Amino acid sequence: MLEIEDLSVSIGGKQILKDVNLRIGPGETHALFGPNGTGKTTLLNAIAGIPRYAVDSGKIIFKGMDITQMPMDERAKLGIGMAFQRPPAIRGLRLKDLIKIINPQADAAAILKKMDFDAFGEREVNRGFSGGEVKRSEMVQLLAQQPDLVMLDEPDSGVDLENIKLIGGAINQLTQKDIRPSSRTKSGIIITHFGHILEYMKTDRAHVMVGGSIVCSGNPSEILEQIKKSGYEGCVACLCPA
């Protein structure tokens, strides 16, 4: 589904990502861990194609196509979807109208109900929403889009316990963890700090990013255990000795 080859990315002339390699197969969902400011959001934004993230070298391959230079809207049409860490509010656009723009066939009422968000359909997108409400608004948009690769940038931050279950359930559905493994075709990547949401959704593999590079990859629960025990640096030293 996704192949990142030796990707280096800079923002405003400052290098953030260094030689990142990552492969996510169809039906797989990966977790991405790492300290603040290490480049996790930069990686997802570069895959999404936000213009200010300059690819200095390396390639992004999606479904076998080189999308490294492709405009963002074309990537979305090809099946890349993203829940942003801090999405903007959109004045003058109601959430239920955005759902129709994303996918005219979508059942807006059913999607809003699923996320316990009925009352927000008439509201302007993210305008005056609380932190947790913004996260549910992002999930509503992804449920309308049904992307083949779903990228989630801290979908759990600022979300209360009850809604974490709701969001975890929606992610499982988007990444087809609710059907048998051999039938799965969709993929996902999730950035999270707490791991709490991982109790409500399934991940197949995890990576630790430090200083703009992926320094360790492995089993999600083992890596999370190590991070909890000895921090990111300790996790790296323990699981991926040089």
Interface with Mg ion by CB under 5 A: which residues? 40-41, 85
Angle between the 131-145 and 95-102 helix axes, to the nearest 10 degrees? 30
What three-state secondary structure class fits 8?
Answer: strand
Q: HSE, CB side, 13 Å, CA atoms: give it for residue 8.
A: 7
Least distance CB 238 / ligand ADP (angstroms): 21
Options 42, 68, 126, 173; binder of ligand ADP; rule CB under 6 A:
42
Minimum CB distance to Mg ion smaller for 59 or for 193: 193
Q: Which does 231 bind (CB under 5 to 8 A by kind): ligand ADP, Mg ion, none?
A: none
In this structure, which amino acid lies at residue 6?
A: D
Options 7, 16, 125, 190; binder of ligand ADP; rule CB under 6 A:
16
Minimum CB distance to ligand ADP smaller for 17 or for 115: 17
Angle between the 161-174 and 131-145 helix axes, to the nearest 10 degrees? 20
Options 5, 11, 21, 94; binder of ligand ADP; rule CB under 6 A:
11
14 touches ligand ADP (CB under 6 A): yes
Least distance CB 146 / ligand ADP (angstroms): 25
- Cα separation values, 115 from 2, 3, 7, 166, Å: 28, 31, 35, 7
